């Protein structure tokens, strides 16, 4: 059931909306009376988030699969209208010294984080340009702005996402479309828990030590909450942010700028 304050026709896509940052973004957009299609590979996770709001709709799709993303666009846009907002959030990270990184790990990390981001936004570009309106937001990372040890493919992919964002912002500047990236430091999600687990396994440190070491990369000494990233995305999607395009906004307690 929709509310009386709904903005007719506003429809957003959030990839990786079944967990963490993507879930928080989907809930924030739905809270602003925007219909939200979320995607990911795990149907059960999508259904859980869709169950949290009448405005959220799950469609399972892998962002690395061009045909699956085309099918998602067809189904979601037929049901709820063209996407006004596209948030390329799906991502994954592993951790290995560069000299031990296999070609398969390198390729998979680029496929999901960079090619997946491109395949997420590409089908929206022509329609947004024709309608002279649209918002595209990439969830990059501070790893798109600086280097970190043992995550070379992830750092390369996220730098690529920032480059893709800048290219699209230049290409769409005259069309009423804005394209930006948000670059969080460590956010308290499953991805962070996986990083902590890897540190414990590889170094024998305790969970507390691993958490303290990762939190210390943030000058504020804390982990960012998914809702903080969602608030920045919501602002970038608002009318107030019409002049903001081509920006990589660091959400990191001052770790990068
Ligand atoms: N957590 C952090 O510290 C942090 C910091 C900076 C940036 N980020 C970025 O924030 C974004 C969200 O991450 P998170 O922290 O919320 O982690 P998360 O909870 O692990 O979420 C990642 C999401 O991406 C989806 N996903 C992964 N591969 C996919 C694929 N091939 N196709 C479709 N969906 C896929 C996952 O769903 P399925 O598994 O169901 O497919 C999952 O919902 C990522 O781009 C990440 O790089 C995270």
pLDDT band for position 5 (cuts 50, 70, 90): very low
CA distance 257 to 253: 10
C-beta of 64 in contact with ligand 1 (< 6 A): yes
pLDDT band for position 257 (cuts 50, 70, 90): confident
User: For residues 84 and 29, is the Cβ–Cβ distance under 8 A?
Assistant: no
Cα–Cα distances in Å, from 131 out to 84, 135, 172?
A: 9, 12, 12
- Indicate which residue's Cα is closest to atom 48 of ligand 1: 187
- Indicate which residue's Cα is closest to atom 25 of ligand 1: 16
Q: What average pLDDT does the structure give for the chain?
A: 95
Q: Does the pLDDT of residue 85 top 70, yes or no?
A: yes
Q: Which residues pair with 14 in a beta bridge?
A: 38, 87
pLDDT digits (tens, 9 = 90+) for 134-187: 999 999 999 999 999 999 999 999 999 999 999 999 999 999 999 999 999 999
Q: Which of 90, 84, 86 minimizes the C-alpha distance to 21?
A: 90
User: Which pLDDT does position 192 carry in this prediction?
Assistant: 94
CA distance 174 to 233: 21
- Indicate which residue's Cα is closest to atom 44 of ligand 1: 91
* Triad 236, 193, 116: Cα angle to 5°: 50
User: Which pLDDT does position 8 carry in this prediction?
Assistant: 45
Q: Report the percent of the chain where pLDDT is more than 90.
A: 96
Assess whether 154 carries a catalytic annotation. yes
Domain residue ranges in the chain: 11-185+224-249, 186-223
**Strand bridging mode 56-60 / 85-88:** unpaired
Under 8 Å CB-to-CB from 8, ≥6 apart: which residues?
none
How many of the other CB atoms lie within 10 Å of CB of 189? 20
Determine the distance separating the centroid of ligand 1 and the alpha carbon of 189, expressed in angstroms: 9
Q: Does the pLDDT of residue 4 top 80, yes or no?
A: no
User: Which pLDDT does position 9 carry in this prediction?
Assistant: 61
**Strand bridging mode 85-88 / 11-15:** parallel
pLDDT digits (tens, 9 = 90+) for 25-39: 999 999 999 999 999
CA distance 9 to 26: 16
Q: Does the pLDDT of residue 3 top 80, yes or no?
A: no
pLDDT digits (tens, 9 = 90+) for 24-73: 999 999 999 999 999 999 999 999 999 999 999 999 999 999 999 999 99
pLDDT band for position 7 (cuts 50, 70, 90): very low
Find the length of the chain: 257
pTM for this model (two decimals) = 0.96
User: Which pLDDT does position 230 carry in this prediction?
Assistant: 98
Class of domain 11-185+224-249: alpha beta
């Amino acid at each position: 059931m929709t509310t009386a304050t709904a903005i007719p026709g506003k429809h957003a896509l959030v990839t990786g909306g079944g967990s963490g940052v993507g879930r928080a973004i989907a809930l924030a957009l739905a809270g602003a009376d925007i219909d939200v299609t979320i995607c990911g590979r795990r149907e059960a996770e999508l259904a859980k988030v869709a169950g949290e709001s009448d405005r959220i709709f799950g469609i399972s799709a892998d962002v690395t699969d061009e045909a699956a993303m085309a099918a998602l666009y067809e189904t979601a846009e037929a049901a709820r209208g063209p996407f006004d907002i596209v948030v390329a959030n799906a991502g994954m990270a592993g951790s290995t010294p560069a000299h031990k990184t296999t070609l398969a790990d390198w390729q998979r990390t680029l496929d999901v984080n960079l090619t997946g981001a491109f395949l997420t936004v590409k089908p929206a570009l022509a329609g947004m340009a024709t309608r002279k309106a649209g918002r595209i937001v990439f969830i990059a990372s501070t790893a798109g702005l600086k280097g970190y040890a043992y995550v070379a493919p992830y750092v390369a992919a996220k730098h690529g996402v920032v480059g893709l964002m800048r290219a699209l912002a230049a290409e769409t500047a005259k069309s009423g479309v804005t394209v930006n990236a948000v670059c969080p430091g460590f956010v308290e999600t499953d991805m962070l828990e996986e990083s902590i687990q890897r540190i414990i396994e590889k170094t024998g440190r305790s969970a507390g030590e691993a958490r303290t070491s990762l939190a210390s990369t943030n000058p504020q000494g804390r982990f960012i909450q998914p809702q903080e990233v969602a608030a920045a995305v919501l602002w970038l999607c608002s009318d107030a942010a019409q002049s903001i395009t081509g920006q990589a906004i660091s959400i990191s307690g001052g770790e990068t700028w």
